Amino acid sequence: MFAQILLITGGGPSGATRPLIQYIYEVGFTQNNLGYAATMSYALFVILLALSIIQLKHQRMGGE
Protein backbone atom coordinates (compact mmCIF):
# COMPACT_ATOMS: atom_id res chain seq x y z
CA MET A 1 0.00 0.00 0.00
CA PHE A 2 2.97 2.29 0.53
CA ALA A 3 3.94 2.51 -3.14
CA GLN A 4 0.41 3.04 -4.46
CA ILE A 5 -0.31 5.99 -2.16
CA LEU A 6 3.09 7.51 -2.81
CA LEU A 7 2.64 7.30 -6.59
CA ILE A 8 -0.96 8.48 -6.69
CA THR A 9 -1.04 11.29 -4.12
CA GLY A 10 2.50 11.76 -2.87
CA GLY A 11 1.07 11.98 0.65
CA GLY A 12 -1.91 14.08 -0.34
CA PRO A 13 -2.71 17.58 0.78
CA SER A 14 -0.71 18.29 3.93
CA GLY A 15 -0.05 14.58 4.50
CA ALA A 16 -3.75 13.67 4.76
CA THR A 17 -3.34 10.36 2.91
CA ARG A 18 0.12 9.51 4.21
CA PRO A 19 0.15 6.14 6.04
CA LEU A 20 2.23 5.60 9.16
CA ILE A 21 4.76 3.46 7.28
CA GLN A 22 5.42 6.26 4.81
CA TYR A 23 5.88 8.73 7.66
CA ILE A 24 8.39 6.39 9.33
CA TYR A 25 10.25 6.10 6.01
CA GLU A 26 10.36 9.87 5.53
CA VAL A 27 11.58 10.53 9.07
CA GLY A 28 14.25 7.85 8.85
CA PHE A 29 15.64 8.34 5.39
CA THR A 30 14.62 11.81 4.21
CA GLN A 31 15.13 13.66 7.49
CA ASN A 32 18.01 11.37 8.53
CA ASN A 33 16.49 10.72 11.97
CA LEU A 34 16.97 6.96 12.17
CA GLY A 35 16.59 6.69 15.95
CA TYR A 36 13.13 8.25 15.96
CA ALA A 37 12.07 6.14 12.97
CA ALA A 38 13.29 2.98 14.70
CA THR A 39 11.36 3.90 17.85
CA MET A 40 8.17 4.43 15.83
CA SER A 41 8.75 1.08 14.08
CA TYR A 42 9.07 -0.73 17.41
CA ALA A 43 5.93 0.96 18.72
CA LEU A 44 4.02 -0.07 15.59
CA PHE A 45 5.29 -3.62 16.03
CA VAL A 46 4.07 -3.77 19.63
CA ILE A 47 0.65 -2.41 18.66
CA LEU A 48 0.27 -4.89 15.80
CA LEU A 49 1.46 -7.75 17.99
CA ALA A 50 -1.09 -6.90 20.67
CA LEU A 51 -3.89 -6.67 18.10
CA SER A 52 -2.85 -10.01 16.59
CA ILE A 53 -2.87 -11.74 19.99
CA ILE A 54 -6.31 -10.32 20.76
CA GLN A 55 -7.61 -11.51 17.40
CA LEU A 56 -6.18 -15.01 17.86
CA LYS A 57 -7.74 -15.31 21.32
CA HIS A 58 -11.07 -14.11 19.97
CA GLN A 59 -11.00 -16.67 17.14
CA ARG A 60 -10.18 -19.53 19.52
CA MET A 61 -13.19 -18.67 21.69
CA GLY A 62 -15.51 -19.27 18.75
CA GLY A 63 -15.56 -15.84 17.20
CA GLU A 64 -18.37 -14.51 19.35
pLDDT tens-digit profile of 22-56? 889 989 999 999 999 999 999 999 999 999 999 99
Residues 2-25 have pLDDT tens digits of: 677 777 777 667 777 778 888 899
Predicted confidence at residue 64, as pLDDT, reads: 59
Tally of domains in the chain: 1
pTM to 2 decimals? 0.73
DSSP string, 1-64: -HHHHHHHTTT-GGGTT--HHHHHHIIIIIS--HHHHHHHHHHHHHHHHHHHHHHHHHHHTT--
Expressed as residue numbers, the domain containing 43 is: 2-60
d(CA 44, CA 21): 9
pLDDT at position 63: 60
Half-sphere exposure of 47 (CA within 13 A, CB side): 7
